[in-house]
A and B are shown apart, each in its own frame.
Chain A
């Protein structure tokens, strides 16, 4: 195939990727979009293999087989509750692939680089490298392999700033002498360590933002590789992924009323210790109830809004949630679900879990679409959500989450909160909702609580 024909096929692939995203505008057409996108990818890979003078097919086939086995196994086995971890790892793979392609180009037979190619190769390597290690850190935080609380130490931001500066200095050295191996590996090592150091001070509550941001970076790295290789398919696809990641990042930040800089640098979620000392914590008594009490309230409700949070995912309680919702729906209760944009640990996390449990997507409502309805609702059932229903965001200017849009659950007649224990949420702060007069706490594992509720109601 000639170069022109190959480039035309790449254009076709890029078009199919765009159509794939366009069809994601509705759950009805999304599957078709994914199929079109797959065809685009198959075409790009197929046509690349016909490149004149391409060798090493044995190695290529072995690589594709290994990647297919790993990727396919992960895709089939991953639990829907673990999608954030999965996407974090995929972001890392994307970063690694771009960085490696840039490295191969760097060490390749052609050592005469013009400055534009050199800059884009370096950017691809640096962004790809820090996306790789940063994503591994995000994965480790999500999996609780390392503390989900921010890890901070004195001079942290100074050290990170210094690393960026040294990286830039080394990059300028490499600019003068592209064949300097020592400087090359120095840049690689610094970008890898930057990914680790930039993510460890960020708390578990902010991991949804970080996953989105790293998603964006992995796309940016692909675009940079595309510039260096002068390949339009990579440039276009990388910018699509980059735009997607950055838009989701902004949605997440807005939903927490925080700037991206604040997410990255403020070590949000350190346990706040001053609250107890000053006596400014919530006052009142927590009222723990039994399953029977809660069942009675639910049996007499005319309308119910269910608010799921990460606790529902952690307890694998999505199926039990749907059972309760279905049963009450059959009894004539108006059952709806309210999904806060940052509920769970990635954008859309709750929606996927409820879809897995066969909850029709028409029953799911976004914050802005349902928030006015809490006032006229009989019962709100909060399942493992905490910060997204904390009224302090509206009432307490000294609260770290003050100004964050939250679900107005306390305006309902009765609020039932299913919670494992009284531990604080991701944000590391107390929740006065739990102390309110119209709140009933039902402590225990969310899944078994829900199963008991359904059993009691059916009696």
Chain B
């Protein structure tokens, strides 16, 4: 990886941390549990890496097996996280 790419990556990381902190500070305490389950759901974005690892070659290998396990874990987060967040948010009424 060339240094330019690394610096761009780090820049994105730092800016996203600050932007995230600003957004999250505005979430009221009453929604902190859905915030956590919602974060679980989006951390399932690791599924992108898991898909690429599982399908990296035509033949089955230890790498595709590791990727397969990662797909399962990440999907649990995505599906479970979004569904339980939705279930909770539907309960909040005026």
Identify the A interface with B (CB < 8 A).
10, 13-14, 17-18, 20-22, 24-27, 30-31, 33-34, 37-38, 40-41, 44-45, 48-49, 51, 54-57, 59-60, 62-64, 66-68, 70-72, 74-76, 78, 80, 83, 86-87, 90-91, 93-94, 96-98, 100-101, 103-105, 107-109, 114, 116-117, 211-212, 215, 218-219, 221-223, 225-227, 229-245, 247-248, 251, 339, 341, 346-349, 351-352, 355-356, 358, 360-362, 364, 366
Contacts and interface: CB of A to CB of B under 8 A. Distances in A.
B93 A243 contact: no
Contacts of A59: 54-55, 60, 64, 67-68, 71
A67 B88 contact: no
A346 B86 contact: no
Given A30-B89, A352-B88, A103 B66 contact: yes
B34 A101 contact: no
A45 B12 contact: no
Interface of B: 1, 5-6, 9, 12-13, 16-17, 19-21, 23-58, 60, 62-64, 66-94
B89 A71 contact: no
A212 B32 CA distance: 10
B25 A232 contact: no
Nearest to A33: B38
A90 B76 contact: yes
Nearest to B2: A114
B58 to A, nearest CB: 5
A132 to B, nearest CB: 9
Contacts of B6: 116, 227
Contact of B12 (A49, A94, A235): A235
Contacts of A24: 27, 31, 34-35, 38
A341 B29 CA distance: 8
A91 B44 CA distance: 10
A71 B60 contact: no
B43 A219 contact: yes
Contact of B55 (A18, A57, A74, A349): A57
Q: Most A CB atoms within 10 A — which of B43, B51, B64? A: B43
25 contacts: A27-B30, A30-B31, A30-B89, A33-B38, A45-B78, A48-B52, A63-B68, A67-B73, A70-B76, A86-B37, A87-B33, A87-B40, A90-B76, A100-B53, A104-B63, A114-B1, A225-B46, A227-B9, A232-B9, A232-B12, A236-B16, A240-B39, A243-B21, A244-B24, A361-B92
Contact of A366 (B1, B29, B79): B29
Contact of A351 (B33, B43, B79): B33
B15 to A, nearest CB: 9
A226 B13 CA distance: 10
Given A90-B40, A97-B44, 5 more contacts: A41-B45, A67-B79, A71-B81, A87-B40, A244-B35
B80 to A, nearest CB: 3
Contacts of B71: 59-60, 63-64, 67
Given A51-B52, A83-B37, A21 B20 contact: yes
Given A94-B44, A346-B36, A72 B53 contact: no
- Closest A-B pairs by Cβ, 7 of them: A67-B75, A71-B80, A348-B32, A63-B71, A75-B83, A347-B32, A243-B20
B26 to A, nearest CB: 4
Contacts of A355: 30, 88, 91-93
